[in-house]
Structure 1
Amino acid sequence: MTSFIWNKFKKMDYSLLISILILAGFGVIMVYSASYPISYIHYGDANYFFTRQIQWLLIGLFFFAVAAAIPCQLYGKLSPVFIFISILLLIIILIPGIGVERNNSQRWIQLGGFVFQPTEPIKLFMIIYFAYFYSKKQAYINEFKKGVLPPLLILGVMFLLILKQPDLGSAALILFVCGIIVVCSGVRRIHLFILSSIGLIGIIYFAFTSAYRFERITSFLNPFENHLGSGYQLVNSYIAIGTGGIWGAGLGNSVQKLGYLPEAHTDFIMSIILEEIGIIGLFIVIGSYLFIMIRGIRIAKNCTDMFPKLLAIGITFQIMIQAVFNLGAVSGMLPITGITLPLISYGGSSLLFTMISVGILVNISTLTNNTG
């Protein structure tokens, strides 16, 4: 067993590993810079969020190593258990006293002093389930009812339960990532067209039939129209980005984090990065994500077995799409959805399960001759 684990760690993609560690380390630095004023105001400790981010990163590194060492096929065999746990979590979160409500959304579960967001593990669980199902149904991939439909029914249930929180951003993210796995599995084009049409219509319907979701989605179109209300966050994000310019105001010198920009250390941490470091910070972040995407696609391409191939694709694009959702929101190019920036934003459950996900991706790299 020891030799098996040692051989896996010798074969892993170390360039991918290093890029992940650099991004996570950069995130810890920026979480401290973005959070120390609000940490001191609310908790009397300027290191409050910084300390917890380091703790979660250390826990994440441990589970990263575990995820990188476990035989990859075991994840697929456990996928039915993961789906059961996912549905159970999404039901439990709706129970008063267990589900925690913040900012008009009930997206967290509190057990004692521990609070976590169930959609974080569910993102990974759905990727594993979709990758495993479609890898095992290649012989029936052209038969819609037998080879395509079953996981989509599960996805529909998950989508509706997550909307109950309400959390359209996470629901859409899971929908897009699972859709990419379906595309890469070899499903017929006519089936893809039908499914994508249904998915798009569904997102539009649920987005525009709720006053709360409609306001969140449309407020980014003209935030200055209600700059003290629904457009407040985006307007202050613009101020942070504009203040930073090319070189930034200097690390630690943000003004917007002093109570002007809500969620400065979570959803809008990129605004603080741009205010303090300028375009250099943008290059660091986007360059790191692009490198992870390139390595992830290369790992998937070099897989001979369909399950790890689809799993690598799902994990890679989950990180990329989440980053696009976040960066699009802080720049006003997409609606604000409450999606965090992977490996950088503050958040224990987000950081933990992102580390587990990339641990699995590094695990898959040991199954290939990925030396490029």
Structure 2
Amino acid sequence: MMPMLNNRNKITGESYDQALLWVTLVLLAFGMVMVYSASISWAEGKSLTHHQASYYLVRHAGFLVVGLVVAGIAFQVPIRTWKKYATPLFLVGLGMLILVLVPGIGHKVLGSRRWIKLVLFQIQPSELMKFFAAVYVADYTTRKAALMHSFKQGFSPMLIVMIFVAFLLLQEPDFGAFVVIASISIAILWLGGINLRIFGGLLVLLVIGFIILILTSPYRLQRIVGYMDPWADPFGKGYQLTHALIAFGRGEWLGVGLGGSVEKLMYLPEAHTDFLLAVIAEELGFIGVAALVGLFAWVVVRSFKIAKESVSNEQYFSALLAQGIGVWIGVQSIINMGVNMGLLPTKGLTLPLLSFGGTGILANCVAMAVLLRIDWENKRLFKGIQV
């Protein structure tokens, strides 16, 4: 993700957002430490990992290296290029969402078909689709800016596309990714000037849709029931949540110390992915969780400040894309943290930039690199330098 040099213009230390870069790197590094801490016992106890304690650490480090390399390349891509290829990228994402549903191509784990298995690794299309959706909706909104007041000409084409995306995601099923992508899309449309009545109607439809999805799906309904009272069935529907809450309780203010978690000792399943925050809470306590929340909040606020600077430079696509990335990181973080603390029903969403998961880390790194690029272009435009 470090900005590189080009032939004509040398990038100086003041030409990109150093604070944003360092906060991102700190989150990535902290995530690697906590993934290792949370996964040691789990890796030692599984034959698929050859009982190697460092199995997930090595893989996560590999994902980080790939993510940072790809992010470095993404930083070199002008924002106008992302805009130019927004639709092709979105179509690639749709193609992957279709492929993952094809038996023999899509890889099924614990009842969900969310991965395309390759020779050395797996790709989770829904993670990449979050970025592709942010780019596409930002491009669509800027192109259709004059028509956003019209339901038929401005909003209905996007609604049809997003219903199709939702259909594909719910076939996997990946309800968590659907919620995040819907949040990104709605936020960009709202910030892009969609008619208030259309926006209000969309929110009502989404609420009704969520209720119908929950009531018509036994496993989703069970999660809601387990979330309402996890202690009623602590060895069944409420198992993960009760152990996550125990981890939070044990952590108290300062935690039991790095590496001292008991819940990660095969009590809390897959603690290095969806429930990483619970291990952080147990080992580093309220202070550690509060610091982490502060870092995520800073990233979200900074993304909106970068968007404001883009508006000043009349770069409206860049502004909407920056806001979309901010909403993505913010919403996914809030959902993951809410699930870990028992404030929201259990959802299969990782903690951005921290949790174990190759495609998620890759998508997050690229998103942060694009955000850095938007800020870099803003600074150059402010100085009167063309990008």
Query: Is 1:134 aligned to residue 141 of structure 2?
Result: yes
Q: Distance in 2 between matches of 1:358 and 1:347?
A: 17
Residue of structure 1 in register with 2:92 after alignment: 85
Q: Distance in 2 between matches of 1:155 and 1:266?
A: 27
Q: CA deviation at 1:228?
A: 0.7
Deviations 1:37-81 (A, max 9, x none): 111222221111011111111111111111112110111111111
CA contact 1:134–1:148 (8 Å) conserved in 2: no
Mapping for residues 160-309 of structure 1, pairs under 5 Å: 160-303=167-310, 304-309=314-319
Residue of structure 2 in register with 1:95 after alignment: 102
**Which stretch shifts more, 51-60 or 232-241?**
51-60
Tell me the TM-score normalised to structure 1 length: 0.96
Q: Percent identity?
A: 35
Question: Which of residues 352, 375, 379 in structure 2 aligns to 1:365?
Answer: 375
Are the structure 2 counterparts of residues 88 and 172 from structure 1 closer, same or farther at C-alpha, using a change threshold of 3 Å? same
Q: CA deviation at 1:8?
A: 8.5
Residue of structure 2 in register with 1:28 after alignment: 32
Aligned partner of 1:342: which letter?
Answer: P
Q: CA deviation at 1:131?
A: 0.1
Structure 1: 5+ residue stretches without partners: none
Aligned partner of 2:332: which letter?
Answer: Q
Q: Distance in 2 between matches of 1:268 and 1:193?
A: 34
Residue of structure 2 in register with 1:159 after alignment: 166
Q: CA deviation at 1:4?
A: 5.6
CA contact 2:75–2:369 (8 Å) conserved in 1: yes
Aligned partner of 1:161: which letter?
Answer: L
CA contact 2:42–2:270 (8 Å) conserved in 1: no
CA contact 1:37–1:46 (8 Å) conserved in 2: yes
CA contact 1:274–1:281 (8 Å) conserved in 2: yes
Aligned partner of 1:163: which letter?
Answer: L
Residue of structure 2 in register with 1:123 after alignment: 130
Query: Is 1:331 aligned to residue 335 of structure 2?
Result: no
Q: CA deviation at 1:125?
A: 0.4
Question: Secondary structure of the equivalent of 2:255?
Answer: coil
Question: Secondary structure of the equivalent of 1:146?
Answer: helix
Q: CA deviation at 1:364?
A: 0.5
Q: Distance in 2 between matches of 1:9 and 1:132?
A: 30
Question: Which of residues 57, 73, 81 in structure 2 aligns to 1:50?
Answer: 57
Question: Which of residues 62, 65, 73 in structure 1 aligns to 2:72?
Answer: 65
Deviations 1:126-160 (A, max 9, x none): 11000001011112222222222212211110001
Superposition RMSD in Å:
1.6
CA contact 1:170–1:339 (8 Å) conserved in 2: yes
Tell me the matched-pair count. 371
Q: CA deviation at 1:20?
A: 0.4
Question: Secondary structure of the equivalent of 2:342?
Answer: coil
CA contact 2:16–2:379 (8 Å) conserved in 1: no
**Which stretch shifts more, 347-356 or 36-45?**
36-45
Residue of structure 2 in register with 1:320 after alignment: 330
Q: Distance in 1 between matches of 2:270 and 2:356?
A: 9
Residue of structure 2 in register with 1:17 after alignment: 21
Deviations 1:246-274 (A, max 9, x none): 11111001111110001110000000001
Q: CA deviation at 1:205?
A: 1.2
Aligned partner of 2:106: which letter?
Answer: G
Tell me the TM-score normalised to structure 2 length: 0.93
Extract structure 1 runs of 4+ deviating beyond 4 A. none
Q: Distance in 2 between matches of 1:234 and 1:158?
A: 29
Aligned partner of 2:24: which letter?
Answer: I
Q: CA deviation at 1:318?
A: 0.1
Aligned partner of 1:228: which letter?
Answer: F
Residue of structure 2 in register with 1:37 after alignment: 41
Q: Distance in 2 between matches of 1:4 and 1:30?
A: 41
Q: CA deviation at 1:6?
A: 3.8
Deviations 1:198-230 (A, max 9, x none): 122112211221101111233111001111111
CA contact 1:173–1:321 (8 Å) conserved in 2: yes
Question: Secondary structure of the equivalent of 2:45?
Answer: helix
Question: Secondary structure of the equivalent of 1:106?
Answer: strand
**Which stretch shifts more, 193-202 or 19-28?**
193-202
Question: Secondary structure of the equivalent of 1:108?
Answer: strand
Question: Secondary structure of the equivalent of 1:278?
Answer: helix
**Which stretch shifts more, 88-97 or 246-255?**
88-97
Residue of structure 2 in register with 1:349 after alignment: 359
Aligned partner of 1:238: which letter?
Answer: L
Q: Distance in 1 between matches of 2:208 and 2:126?
A: 23
Q: Distance in 1 between matches of 2:163 and 2:345?
A: 22
